[in-house]
Chains A and B, each alone.
Chain A
Amino acid sequence: MDVKVGIPRALFYYQYYPLWKTFFEELNTEVVLSDYSTSKILDEGTKSCVAEACLPVKIFYGHVMNIKDKVDYLFIPRFTSISKKEYICPKFGGLPDMIRNSIKDLPPLIDTEINLRKSEKNARKAAMEIGRFFTKDERKIENAYKKALESFGEFKAKVKQGVLPSDILDKKLNVIKKSNEPELNIAVIGHVYNLYDSFINMDMIDKLRKRGAKIITVDMVEDEIIKRNAGLLPKKMFWNFGSRAYGSSLHFLEREDIDGIIYLMSFGCGVDSFVCDLAERKIRKTKDIPFIVLTLDEHSGEAGMDTRLDAFIDMIRWRYKNENNVSAYG
């Protein structure tokens, strides 16, 4: 029987799953995903996690609880950096330790460090190390890594073309009742795990689509554009997400076809708290474009989210109606 590797459907799942899946499958293991986020998963996460953690980390805990008893290994790599000279949130670096110290009866963790700060070639090293959990055949690992990169490349290419990662990963059929109004292009800035987990963001993406919006996210912006734009800052951005959020904000401002920008942040996120402010100041100073910040936390009442989305879309449509001299209140 194949060895089962468990992957929590949370945090970087939304960024790297195609890479991980192919890699593990090429090593003849069976990949087991936790269920989609639900209130039960959030509940269990909140109970087992420290109170200070952000919502996405709490959800991650819930996903660990959800699969830990069904697998032989849990894949929780220690992410220190995912890009040259940039860091990511320190909670990713401490994640395996946090999990080990607060959840009992865990299967062995694959907690290899992934640190690309000095060189992106370190990714290969990490892959070799992870592969050794399952085989001594270095060439086999090498080969699995190559195939994994191919799948990952295909996934990234699709996203850059404008397909949402959640549409690819979840393979859910989107039966969205289209709005009769003209389509709006709404740019959304946020962490992958906030944007693409429809439970965390209270179905924000589908709610916007139902109101006639096409969604463009940070992940669809070409890396070179992000790099060039982020390079305009007087000092190099410390965080990987920071340069992506800021770089894509500038890109959205340059584009003529973007009708509004939403910044989706989770309450208590250190990175968001200042990157959001930086982006907001830049956006407001540069262009007269509808912009809103939406904050996520543990509340389950959707009225707040709905009211803000409704008013935001109303505001955009009202502007256009006004420009076309049609008297109507949106």
Chain B
Amino acid sequence: MLKTSHYLGIDVGSVSTNLVVINEKDEIVDKLYLRTSGQPINALRNGMKTLYQRLGKDVKISGVGTTGSGRQLASVIVGADIIKNEITTHAIAAQKLVPEVKTIIEIGGQDSKIIILKKGIIYDFAMNTVCAAGTGSFLDRQAARLEIPIEEFGTFALRSKTPVRIAGRCAVFAESDMIHKQQTGHSVEDIINGLCEALVRNYLNNLAKGKDIEEPIVFQGGVAANVGIVAAFERAIEKKIIIPQYYDVMGAYGAALIAKEEVLKNGRSTNFFGFENTQNDFRARSIECNGCSNMCEVIEIVSNDAVVACWGDRCGKWSSVKRENQSVS
């Protein structure tokens, strides 16, 4: 069988590392949602290994795009054709699946975003500022504290009978409020539902402040799996919310779509190192530079004893020496 052209999108986020492979018709042929578990390099290598076992013999990767907070790191390990911020990739993916989309709610591990589209282009966006209340990592923590698997967290909220008000301004206060309510005897279901409502309130007050949330509304990112949050959103804005089929890997899907466009536009061959090469030994090494009082925390990515990439220095003393294989945008 002849190997057909495929494109790989990688989204290395704070909580999950996602990989998506699309074909020339922009259809997803395989996707992986993996926990980053604080070790992005390992998560990525495991993901690449799994993809290789599942598809390696049948597909040829003709383009790679990376996104997420670990987009640079991912690019160094796999060889990306384009490195893109997650606002753009999320918007592109949502538009592919819901072409008329006007509002994108995206809640991931550490970031939450709102993206407003008009006439098919990004018109406005906002990200959470100094507060991570309401993002996936906070929900993860609360689920762990209550000893409820995160997958079932949302269904608990749906079983709530009496509303309980939880403070949503701040994750620390939300937690102490939850504990207080639990000690006074409220049911876990009601408390979880109160938490979902608090987080939605926080999102709408902080991110969506002054923005028109128009339909179609797409909700994506890991937290979209939480039916409690989805229900709380629908109650609060009194509009219907669409959860796309691939809600949990939309960033990676967008990155794959951009990679395809980039490679086809320039008619060049991919920078992809190949599945086998991602199994090389990659290690991140951090050094504190003592060159000046900035004391930059410089990160070096080392493969087979050679430094393949370097960043984190303000002056460029370390990073400028390394090859600049692509511009970050």
Contacts and interface: CB of A to CB of B under 8 A. Distances in A.
A322 B121 contact: yes
A154 interface: no
A211 B329 CA distance: 8
B294 A291 contact: no
Contacts of B92: 329
A314 B87 contact: yes
A330 B124 contact: no
Contacts of A315: 87-88, 121-125
A203 B120 contact: no
Nearest to A41: B293
Nearest to B85: A310
Contacts of B158: none
A40 B329 contact: no
Interface stretch (B29-37, B219-227, B257-265): B257-265
B119 interface: yes
Interface in B87-130: 87-88, 92, 119-127, 129-130
B261 A329 contact: yes
Size bracket, chain B contacts: 20 to 34
A267 B296 CA distance: 23
Contacts of A288: 123
Nearest to B292: A38
A94 to B, nearest CB: 25
A318 interface: yes
A219 interface: no
Contacts of A97: none
Contact of B295 (A40, A290, A329): A40
Interface in B113-156: 119-127, 129-130
A295 interface: yes
A244 B251 CA distance: 40
Contacts of A304: 127
A328 interface: yes
A284 B293 contact: no
A280 interface: yes
B86 interface: yes
B257 A307 contact: no
B122 A40 contact: no
B314 A330 contact: no
B122 A318 contact: yes
A199 B315 CA distance: 11
B293 A307 contact: no
Contact of A297 (B69, B86, B120, B130): B130
Interface in B147-198: none
Contacts of B328: 306, 310
Contacts of B86: 307, 311
A280 B257 contact: no
Contact of A307 (B85, B130, B294): B85
A228 interface: no
Given A307-B85, A328-B261, A328-B265, A291 B124 contact: yes
A329 B88 contact: yes
B86 to A, nearest CB: 6
Interface string A21-41: 000000000000001001111
Contact of A322 (B120, B258, B296): B120
Nearest to A44: B293
A211 B327 CA distance: 10
Contact of B210 (A284, A292, A328): A284
Q: Sorted from nearest, which 3 A-B pairs have the closest CB atoms?
A: A311-B87, A40-B293, A310-B85
27 contacts: A38-B292, A39-B296, A40-B294, A280-B210, A284-B210, A288-B123, A293-B126, A304-B127, A306-B85, A307-B127, A310-B84, A310-B85, A310-B87, A310-B329, A311-B86, A311-B87, A311-B88, A311-B122, A311-B125, A313-B329, A314-B84, A314-B329, A315-B123, A318-B88, A322-B119, A322-B120, A329-B92
